[in-house]
Amino acid sequence: MNVFNGNAFRSSAPTTYGFEPGHVFAIREGSDELLYKHIGHDRHVLTASPLANPELRQVFPQDEIRELVEAGKLDPLMERNSESRQVLLARLPDIKSARDLDCEEQDQLAFYWKLCRHVVQMYDDGLTSLTDKALKRTIGKVMARLVYGADDDSDDGRQVRRGKRDAAITREISARKAKDAYRAPSPATVRKWIRDLVQHEWDLLALRDHRKGRVGSRTAKITDPHSVALMAKWVQAYLDRSRPSAATLYKLMTGSITLEEENARRDREGAPRLRGTEALSFAASNLARAAQGLPALPVPSLSTFERAIRKLDSYQVALARYGASHARRTHKVSGRPESVLYPGERVALDCWRVQLMSLKLPEQFWEGIPEELVGKIVKLRLMLCVAIDEATKVVLGATLSWTANADTSIRTLEMVCRNKDEIAQAAGCRSTWHHACTPLMVATDSGSEFIDAGFRCAVTDIGSANEIGPASHPDARGVVERFFETTDSQLLPFFQGRTFSSVGDKGEANPEALANVISAVLGPALVRYFVDVYHNSPHAGLGGQTPNDAWEERAALFKVVPPPANEVMTVAFGFSDNRRIQNRGIRFYGLYFRNEASAELRREVGQADVRIRANLEDLEMIWVSKNVPGAKWFAVPCDMPMKGVSAALWEETAAALRRKHADVAKLSDHVVQAALLDLRETGRHSASVAGIGPSTISNDEVRRREAEIVRHFNYTTVGDRGQTFDDLEGDDLQSDNLLAAADDSQVPETMDRDGDTPAPAARRRGRLKSDFLRKD
């Protein structure tokens, strides 16, 4: 008959719970615990009495008991109801259960427990006795059986000769089975173990040496209160930043009669006492007590003094001898880091002094300099500023600089919001560096480069929040700090001149003598490592996933906030300055920017300054606004095609034109464009565009370089020499208004009275003054 056919299913009977009479169990509700003494039970109820009121009998239905068991609120308290276990735990105060023992001791006790069981079983079977002679032979047989799996006894208890096949089997078992090297106990020890095991219901802890629990009085041998008080003062002297050793303090504590007599003589003569003997020692104290007729104080031993030092609080010892930072590192409990889910949710920025001595310029630039000056001038350690996405561990930005400053941090933050494929291609990378986003949170430390107003304003302008972590707590920025260690261990060993993290690690190496890496090489090497190696290597913090895979997976699973718009990027990270609108437009870096909106602005402000923002990586246009709070920004294009032309490339173009043309006061735009095209094709600007080297330009440096470019340098647009703000109309843009701020070379042509043909412009020929070479 099939009992499982259809929907019929027969469940088993409910469990009946119960204990032995007198058993004490507990029922817990939260932190409250109620103890009950078991009286009796049957299939329906369990009867018990509270220990707090033994006269009261309480009946629990079995259904209620089952609910308490399933909820984990009923504790049988098996160990507390075992008298033998309680006795053993009282004898062994250093543990609370057998699981508190280490693995080696657990295995050792289990081995000897099995040995005693085998001996007792052989005694019950009549195969041995408990005499020394019989037990010695029996212990050897049992040890061989437990360790090697061998058995020298036949079924009738007599030793028989084994054949070659049995011996081979024994050798095979012996070779394959792990052997535990345990010492064979003596017959007296085995008899004691058996008595203890029988007395304690064969509890494993009965075999443990009771002396391990440090049972007995452990009071110090020095009982004199004066000796204890004097030693306590010297124990506190151990808590000193000079880190004296216990042996040194003990010698000073015991003192010397000769030293005390010398100090007494110096006191009489008014001379200073010997150094290190200012505190009261036992020798000085006993010398004073002897003069008073008192007995000498007992001197503690060195072991007693060291034991008193070991009882000091470990945190106080670390704080007093090594400082607060070391005490926090050695005693802190690491908290759970903030959970980060999607790319860009939290981006950490930090600076690190590269542990590699670099050369500022190639060797041909400093040949001939004396050797003693070479090491001081051209060798230095660069600062690396890195931005890492904590969710995917992707490097979103990196910048090398001579020193950490606000310009470096702003440049690194700008790289977080930009596609960096051009940098990767110029460095020879095979992987892309397209990772870009708008970070939700920018986490930094309290360094001067991150608390600068310019950096904090840039973070605010792109719509991010700035979190400044606590000082002297690098563990709060564990992701970026660990990244620096990874870079130091994986990339820097390929170069000479490493400075290492400490003097001990550096050894006898001389980094300055071995330095051979120029900064122009270190930047592309870092880019190649970030993009091709680090982003494609399994990361332990990602569960073995690579940062590139983590970015792709989490971007699809959650989101990535797109980078800010170009105008926002220019306002947040671009060059900022005040300029005046000239006749040809706004001049910046030797270029003129103009459109109808700038002409309207000039009509409103006249000769007043306006605010500009410029992207030094692309001089196609600038952003302009009226110099009043809350004014709207608008784009003004360059009158020359400058799309994709960086400030570095334009500087090189101006320098090339000066080298080629003797007179660069006025060059046609086609000449300038030809020179710019040549430099683009040769790729001579790729180092500044594609590297992360120390090329960050501050605002002051931009103004200085701009002054070098615009000095005696100008260009004219072919066919438009007589026009200003071309293709613009309006009564307010009459020539008489524009001539007020125009130079002599830009006087517009005039019309005759009939208005048919233009009349030649009357050029004023004023006298040359002393400032005729002045800039615009």
Query: Lowest-confidence range among 158-167, 402-411, 573-582, 627-636?
Result: 158-167
- Mean pLDDT taken over the chain: 76
Residue 301 has pLDDT above 50, yes or no: yes
Cβ pair 773, 764 in contact under 8 A: no
Residue 652 has pLDDT above 60, yes or no: yes
171 half-sphere exposure, CB direction, 13 A CA radius: 7
State residue 118's pLDDT score. Answer: 93
Residue 613 has pLDDT above 80, yes or no: yes
Tokens of 463: 């719509």
Distance between CA atoms of 244 and 238, rounded to whole angstroms? 6
Most confidently modeled of 126-135, 362-371, 702-711, 729-738? 126-135
b/e code 444-464 from CB counts within 10 Å (16+ = b)? bbebebbebebbbebbeebeb
Of the pLDDT bands very low, low, confident and very high (cuts 50, 70, 90), residue 645 is: confident
Domain ranges of the chain: 1-81, 90-213, 225-328, 347-557, 574-743
Of the pLDDT bands very low, low, confident and very high (cuts 50, 70, 90), residue 668 is: low
Of the pLDDT bands very low, low, confident and very high (cuts 50, 70, 90), residue 741 is: very low
CATH H superfamily, domain 347-557: Ribonuclease H-like superfamily/Ribonuclease H (3.30.420.10)
| 3 state SS of 135 | helix
Tokens of 35: 């103890």
Query: Burial of 44 by CB count in 10 Å (0-12 exposed, 13-18 middle, 19+ buried)?
Result: exposed
Cβ pair 390, 657 in contact under 8 A: no
368 half-sphere exposure, CB direction, 13 A CA radius: 2
Query: Lowest-confidence range among 5-9, 324-328, 682-686, 758-762?
Result: 758-762
Query: Lowest-confidence range among 43-47, 325-329, 757-761?
Result: 757-761
Residue 312 has pLDDT above 90, yes or no: yes
Distance between CA atoms of 27 and 68, rounded to whole angstroms? 8
State residue 309's pLDDT score. Answer: 93
Region 650-668: mean pLDDT is 66
| Helix H or strand E encompassing 628 | none
Query: Lowest-confidence range among 88-97, 509-518, 597-606, 636-645?
Result: 509-518
Sign of the C-alpha dihedral computed for residues 765, 768, 772 and 776 taken in this order: negative
Distance between CA atoms of 487 and 465, rounded to whole angstroms? 28
**Helix spans in 241-384 (H):** 246-254, 257-269, 282-292, 302-310, 314-322, 324-331, 371-377
Biggest CA–CA distance in the chain, Å, is 146
| Number of residues that this document lists for the chain | 776
78 half-sphere exposure, CB direction, 13 A CA radius: 2
Residue 159 has pLDDT above 50, yes or no: no
Cβ pair 439, 412 in contact under 8 A: no
Query: Lowest-confidence range among 202-206, 426-430, 663-667, 723-727?
Result: 723-727
Sheet holding 32-41, edge to edge: 58-61, 45-50, 32-41, 24-29, 74-75
Instruction: Give CA 434 to chain center in angstroms.
Output: 25
Cβ pair 315, 328 in contact under 8 A: no
Distance between CA atoms of 453 and 510, rounded to whole angstroms? 40
Decide which of 735 and 281 is more confident: 281
pLDDT in tens, 404-437: 888 888 889 999 998 988 888 888 899 999 999 9
Decide which of 687 and 222 is more confident: 222
Q: Which amino acid is at 24?
A: V
Of the pLDDT bands very low, low, confident and very high (cuts 50, 70, 90), residue 640 is: confident
Of the pLDDT bands very low, low, confident and very high (cuts 50, 70, 90), residue 663 is: low
State residue 266's pLDDT score. Answer: 76
Nearest to 582 by CA among 605, 602, 604, 611: 602
pTM of this structure? 0.57
Percent of the chain scoring above 90 in pLDDT? 20
Distance between CA atoms of 174 and 363, rounded to whole angstroms? 69
State residue 584's pLDDT score. Answer: 84
Query: Lowest-confidence range among 213-217, 267-271, 392-396, 624-628?
Result: 213-217
Cβ pair 483, 435 in contact under 8 A: no
- List, in order, residues 6 or more apart from 36 with CB less than 8 Å away: 24, 25, 26, 27, 48, 49, 50, 51, 58
State residue 475's pLDDT score. Answer: 67
- Residue 735 DSSP symbol: H
Residue 650 has pLDDT above 90, yes or no: no
Tokens of 42: 């049957």
State residue 550's pLDDT score. Answer: 93
Residue 617 has pLDDT above 60, yes or no: yes
Of the pLDDT bands very low, low, confident and very high (cuts 50, 70, 90), residue 535 is: very high
Distance between CA atoms of 120 and 135, rounded to whole angstroms? 11
Q: How far apart are the first and last CA of the chain?
A: 111
pLDDT in tens, 76-95: 888 788 888 888 878 887 78
Distance between CA atoms of 292 and 288, rounded to whole angstroms? 7
Sign of the C-alpha dihedral computed for residues 193, 195, 200 and 202 taken in this order: positive
Region 590-600: mean pLDDT is 88
Most confidently modeled of 244-248, 279-283, 671-675? 244-248
Percent helix, percent strand, percent coil in the chain, to nearest 5: 45, 15, 45
Cβ count near 99 (within 10 Å): 7
pLDDT in tens, 13-70: 888 988 888 899 999 888 888 999 999 999 899 999 998 888 899 999 999 999 999 8
In order, the DSSP letters of 155-220 are: TTS------HHHHHHHHHHHHHS-----PPPPHHHHHHHHHHHHHTTT-GGGGS-GGGGT-S----
Region 450-475: mean pLDDT is 84
State residue 592's pLDDT score. Answer: 86
Of the pLDDT bands very low, low, confident and very high (cuts 50, 70, 90), residue 242 is: confident
Cβ pair 451, 561 in contact under 8 A: no
* Partners of 668 in beta bridges: 716
Residue 717 has pLDDT above 70, yes or no: no
What are the CA-CA distances from residue 357 to residues 64, 215, 256, 498 (Å)? Answer: 76, 61, 53, 6
State residue 103's pLDDT score. Answer: 86
Instruction: Give CA 5 to chain center in angstroms.
Output: 63
Most confidently modeled of 29-33, 153-157, 722-726? 29-33
Region 462-478: mean pLDDT is 79
| 3 state SS of 297 | coil
